[in-house]
Structure 1
Amino acid sequence: MTLAQAGGNPALNIGIFALFVAITMVIVFRASRNTRTAADYYAAGHAFTGPQNGIAISGDYLSAASFLGIAGAIAINGYDGFLYSIGFLVAWLVALLLVAELLRNTGRYTMADVLSFRMRQKPVRMAAAISTLAVSFFYLLAQMAGAGGLIALLLGVTSRTGQAVVIAVVGLLMILYVLVGGMRGTTWVQIIKAVLLVSGAAVMTVWVLGRFGLNLSGLLGAAVERGGPEGAALLDPGKQYGLSGLTRLDFLSLALALVLGTAGLPHILMRFYTVPTAREARRSVVWAIWLIGLFYLFTLVLGYGAAALVGPEAIRAAPGGVNSAAPLLAAELGGPLLLGLIAAVAFATILAVVAGLTITASASFAHDIYANVIKDGAADDRAQEVRVARVTAVVIGLVSILGGIVANGQNVAFLVALAFAVAASANLPTILYSLFWRRFNTSGALWSIYGGLAVTVLLIVFSPAVSGNARAMFPGADFDFFPLSNPGIVSIPLSFLFGFLGTVLAREPADPARYAGWRSAR
């Protein structure tokens, strides 16, 4: 398939994009009328029901990595690519069983509300805010990279400069969503996006199976045949992660980060505050698990469908590389119209997720650092704190645009896995210790957050993901001293260890009265 055949009609694609943006912008402006307080801006006034929030969570969670990256990973690496889907889904059981209800009971707007409940406010809030900003930045890189690859395919933009302009436009739209609508408007965008994404994936799944007589075995056989000499490896474990003992260890590290990372993602945790009660928070997660599980079953068919109908070589050669598998499959099935519709869904996916990430990061800075550290809790609820959050959203958007330009061309599923590693290392140990260990104190929280964050970022910088090979972020450099692409197997246990050592070695005792108060509040 040539680029012209894949891209179809650029004017049609742009028209569909513009229609989606116009509709969602109207919704965001209408939602902004009810955004009057910090609770409205950060948590949508706690006004969404469990099912509504569950759909929004799935919209927040099913990012460009899910739709573009995983479909591409399955098309190129088969069984090993599907392991991303399994890891992302299983992770929700951790969120459901360990953190959903407890976080809703103990927090108001951000992750730091929970961590600082029993500890000294300022140092813990500062640490939690820094960790939130780091996780959000890594996640934003993935979304921006996905945007660059998607639009490059649709419009035939092959130059790095043109793709950089596309990423900048996505970033500016994201900033506008957050500035105008806050969490309420962002939530409605995520609900619309989730419905479109799951529906679009369902239609494509049925369409692909229909091409093979609704026979999954026929589809898999065609994928093997189209794959050439390496086609048989698509059905067996190990094509990507079974080449050596080191790659197997890399996969174990990846799986650990995926399974434990969700419960530490700040933009997911913040969604639990948009419902009125802990019971609704639990219902949210149940709804999210069903929708996310259904979608990841679709990715199996979409990935192998792309391998069978488009072919791995055409996918690798297309603008956007591996991330182009799903749009190329849509073009093969239904021509320019279906390609435009599916691409609009993917575009909606990226916009909704980056808006959620941006509002989370801006809320963390404004609520935790500005209002509770700099102003010591004395900031006016509306006039100061929300204004700072909006200014922060602009800054974060501009930084993410620059980062997305640098990361353009990387596999978005892999970039998201790095964000999960940071969340699982810097956030999850501290959250679990805070919720379940009576003795845990401020020193332990700081050791866990800063230690986990520093180790994870350091290992990522010196990993093969950043330098030392042709697929690295900086292929011309060579400082990959750490052999694993994902550091989770090292950084996560170290973070738990840091939290333990920081607690037991500190001279400050934990406050039993505060822990008892938290238990009763729960």
Structure 2
Amino acid sequence: MEEINPLINMIVFGAFVAVTLFIVFRVSRRKATENEFYAAGRSFSGRQNGVAIAGDYLSAASFLGICGAIAVAGYDGFLYSIGFLVAWLVALLLVAELLRNTGRFTMADVLSFRLKQRPVRMAAALATLAVCFFYLVAQMAGAGGLVALLMGFEGTLATSITIAVVGILMIVYVIVGGMKGTTWVQIIKAVLLIAGAGIMTLIVLFMVQFDFNELLARAVEASPEGEAILAPGLKYTNPVDFLSLGLALVLGTAGLPHVLMRFYTVPSAREARRSVVWAIWLIGIFYLFTLVLGFGAGALVGPETIREAPGGENAAAPLLALALGGPVLMAVISAIAFATILAVVAGLAITAATSFAHDIYASIIKRGDVQPGAEVKVARITVVVIGVIAILGGILAQNQNVAFLVALAFAVAASANLPTIIYSLFWRRFNTGGALWSMYGGLIACVLLIVLSPVVSGRETSIFPDADFAIFPLANPGIVSIPLAFVLGVIGTLVTKQSADHAVKQAEMEVRSFTGAGAEKASDH
């Protein structure tokens, strides 16, 4: 295998950052309104938004984490691809269009439509911030490992500085470009990522004469685990752990606020449906690529080489590019991976900032009495705060697999958000008490179980390897926290009284969510 060339990597990285920053500055508006900053003025077509959704959804977990997980763990690693793809279908078929018809900018708009505004908005905003934090930590950890590998950096300090640089770039993208700039970065990134992954997939298949069985045979030969990589149980020896992860992946997307927020950037429900079709095709094709790339990395690079590289499993895709096409292809693929991280962290940051500024500042603190431009100003300040917190979290978690960290964000989303979204849209009796019980109960249970799990302490691979307070045995808490949140939503509803106008608000929400009547008019307010 050829040596890594840091100079080529630096040039390609610099060129990408320069081009995307130029685009962000070109599309930005210094005095953007809330509609422009949060939803890009609803100016994107269904096709553009579909590509941007793919760009938002296909994160560092999809490219770096899954390829590494398949290369090292084989069958168990591919569970991530299956889970992420099936999850997307659940989100689209169950909630996406209904949320688009009912809300303006955030998930809290939907949840507070027929419930008490202030307590529900606060709960939804806190849940959104928690999901975004876990997701941002995963992306930052991936960025640190990737750039450390490419630039030949060694040691924790260099990786930490890299994470800080990524965080600063994210802050600039969002503060300057808002949702419009972020969307264009996501569109560019999606095209580059799918094209780059497609080219690498074709090269790998060409090397085995397009015989996938031959690729699997080479991966088995290169793996110290042998044929065990083709069967379940290599990584997840506990079936309950395996089931818990799958549950979090499949149900988590329908509660991810940064993905759901993308449906507010199109002018109509019809365009939202078009964007869904584009997104499904692009995401489905990409996850097929990951199967070839993961086993290709296992066969051509080797699991042990991947584990020992800076960034560990997250280095599998760049190392495969080095094996296939030398330093130039590695630089290009790595720049695409870097673009992937920047695009996703920008989307997460603007979602978190929108949730704080729109739901907490404007609706709760100011009670709707906000001066023109003040809400956007608060959102921009929030981006800086979120960026700093994400940098610190990424530094702590820099040795974890990115796909695994994202699965924790999915568990938080499925526990804190999904039950309330489902009940709000489909259960007439559901009330404010049920929403608060479900959101707070699911969020607290999920985060507490993560803190008490082997992810944080008790193992060499934990975030705090020298400590041991892991009293919860599962790595992902989804199998406990998700059903608990659904049950709490029912209990909370049954033990609290409904408001006087509950039936009227419920009827209005049903009409709007299923028909779209009144949705466009409300979006322009």
TM range (shorter): over 0.9
Alpha-carbon distance in structure 2 between the residues aligned to 1:506 and 1:476? 45
- Aligned-partner Cα distance in 2 for 1:91–1:35: 37
What is the aligned counterpart of 1:101 among 97, 100, 105?
A: 97
Give deviations 1:432-458, integer Å, cap 9, x for gaps.
111111111111111111000000000
Tell me whether 1:238 sits opposite 2:246 in the alignment.
no
- For structure 1, the 5+ residue unaligned runs are none
Q: Within the alignment, does 1:215 sit opposite 2:227 as a pair?
A: no
Q: How far apart are 1:130 and its partner, in Å?
A: 0.4
Amino acid at match of 2:233: G
Instruction: Using the TM superposition, give the Cα deviation of residue 197 of structure 1 relative to its aligned residue in structure 2, in angstroms.
Output: 0.2
Contact 2:425–2:510, Cα closer than 8 Å, also in 1: no
Percent identity for Structure 1 against Structure 2: 69
Q: Distance in 2 between matches of 1:275 and 1:420?
A: 25
Look up the equivalent residue of 1:189 and give its one-letter code: V
Q: 1:451 and 1:23 mapped to 2: Cα distance?
A: 44
Partner Cα separation in structure 2 for residue 282 and residue 256 of structure 1: 26
Aligned to 1:186: 182
Q: Is 2:143 the counterpart of 1:152?
A: no
Q: In structure 2, which of residues 7, 32, 54 is the aligned counterpart of residue 11 of structure 1?
A: 7
1:36 Cα shift?
A: 2.3
Alignment of 1:98-497 (within 5 A): 98-228=94-224, 230-241=225-236, 243=237, 247-381=238-372, 383-497=373-487
Cα distance 1:436–1:79, how it changes in 2: closer, same or farther (>3 A)?
same
The one-letter code matched in structure 1 to 2:230 is L
Instruction: Give the unaligned 5+ runs of structure 2.
Output: 514-525
Question: How far 1:507 sits from its partner (Å)?
Answer: 2.6
Q: CA deviation at 1:289?
A: 1.2
- State whether residues 112 and 129 of structure 1, in contact with CA within 8 Å, keep that contact through their aligned partners in structure 2: yes
SS at the partner of 1:279?
helix
Q: Distance in 1 between matches of 2:43 and 2:214?
A: 47
In 2, the alpha carbon distance for the partners of 1:236 and 1:514 equals 51
| Contact 2:16 2:335 (C-alpha < 8 Å) held by counterparts | yes
What residue identity is the alignment partner of 1:38? E
Deviation string, structure 1 residues 346-385 (Cα, Å, up to 9, x no partner): 000000000000000000000000000000001124x200
Residue identity matched to 1:146: G
Deviation per residue, 1:310-358 (Å, 9 max, x gap): 0011001100001000000000111100000000000000000000000
Partners of 1:441 and 1:508 within 8 A in 2: yes
CA contact (8 A) 1:75 1:303 kept: yes
Q: Retained in 1: the 8 A contact 2:399–2:461?
A: no
| Distance in 1 between residues matched to 2:155 and 2:446, nearest whole Å | 33
Q: Distance in 2 between matches of 1:425 and 1:354?
A: 22
TM superposition shift of 1:257: 0.5
Deviations 1:41-69 (A, max 9, x none): 00011111111111101100100000000
Partner SS state of residue 37, structure 2:
helix
Q: Which runs of at least 4 in structure 1 moved beyond 6 Å after TM superposition? A: none
Distance 2:62 2:37 in 1: 27
**How far, CA to CA, are the matches of 1:309 and 1:116 in structure 2?**
52
CA distance in 2, matches of 1:109, 1:310: 45
Which moved further from structure 2: 309-318 or 501-510?
Answer: 501-510
Determine the structure 2 residue equivalent to 1:502: 492
Q: How far 1:509 sits from its partner (Å)?
A: 4.1
How far 1:212 sits from its partner (Å)?
1.2
Distance in 1, matches of 2:401 and 2:451, equals 17
CA distance in 1, matches of 2:11, 2:480: 47
* Residues 34, 40 of structure 1: 8 Å contact kept: no
Query: Secondary structure at the residue paired with 1:439?
Result: coil
Q: How many residues align?
A: 512
Q: In structure 1, how many angstroms separate the alpha carbons of the residues matched to 2:412 and 2:270?
A: 29
Which residue does 1:69 correspond to in 2?
65
Distance 2:22 2:371 in 1: 29
TM-score under structure 2 length normalisation: 0.96
Counterpart Cα distance in 2 of 1:81 and 1:519: 40
The answer to whether structure 1 residue 53 and structure 2 residue 49 are counterparts is yes
- State the alpha-carbon separation in 2 of the partners of residues 14 and 206 from structure 1: 26
Supply the distance in 2 between the matched residues of 1:43 and 1:22 (Cα, whole angstroms). Answer: 24
Secondary structure, in 3 states, of the residue corresponding to 2:24?
Answer: helix
Opposite residue 515 of structure 1, the aligned amino acid is Q
Match of 1:337, SS state, is helix
The amino acid that maps onto 1:169 is: V
Q: Distance in 1 between matches of 2:338 and 2:105?
A: 28
Q: CA deviation at 1:35?
A: 6.3
Shift of 1:31: 1.1
1:256 positional shift? 0.5
- Residue 211 of structure 1 and its aligned partner are, at CA, apart by 1.2
How many angstroms apart in 1 are the aligned matches of 2:467 and 2:143? 25
Residue 323 of structure 1 aligns to which amino acid in structure 2?
N
Structure 1 residues 441, 415: CA separation in 2 closer, same or farther (over 3 Å shift)? same
Identify which range, 274-283 or 501-510, moves more after superposition.
501-510
> Any idea what SS the aligned residue of 1:498 has?
helix
Cα drift, residue 520 of structure 1: 2.4
Secondary structure, counterpart of 1:470 in structure 2: coil
On the 8 A contact 1:142/1:415 being kept in 2, the answer is yes
Q: Secondary structure at the residue paired with 2:417? A: helix
- Aligned-residue Cα RMSD (Å) equals 1.0
Deviation at 1:34? 8.1
Q: Check the 8 A contact 1:96/1:286 in 2, yes or no.
A: no
